[in-house]
Structure 1
């Protein structure tokens, strides 16, 4: 959540988060990219949070998680370039 605040995608008012114009634009852009749609879904966020917990507990190495994520992003980019 802090990253979203830092990047200006959301603002906080009375303990609630509200999307900014920039946040809405980024979200809408990502949704239009069919191949990137999975990155903005709640399920993907849940999986990333589970992976971060596993890294913290020493069950997986952060480099392995980053490699897998990077490969997925490259697949999305390759798909977008070929479309």
Structure 2
């Protein structure tokens, strides 16, 4: 899978990475915040051998968007669902 390190919002990545627009700039309507739909729908997966409780918060990102960080989140916290997706 190619790595996209763009800092601008790319609408096609909403479907590619399962993202939801969370916040827009009130004056320009540009997207300034995204949320993980996997966190919203399924919650985070439990890591085997982890001593910590699974986080219940929804992961969010603000502009500038680093899609490589979003992909890392999906691989680390939603590995089973991400593989199916």
Shorter-chain TM-score above 0.5: no
Larger Rg: 1
Which of structures 1 and 2 has the larger relative contact order (alpha carbons within 8 angstroms, sep 6+)? 2
Q: TM-score, normalised by structure 2?
A: 0.23
Q: TM-score, normalised by structure 1?
A: 0.23
More helix by share: 1
More strand by share: 2
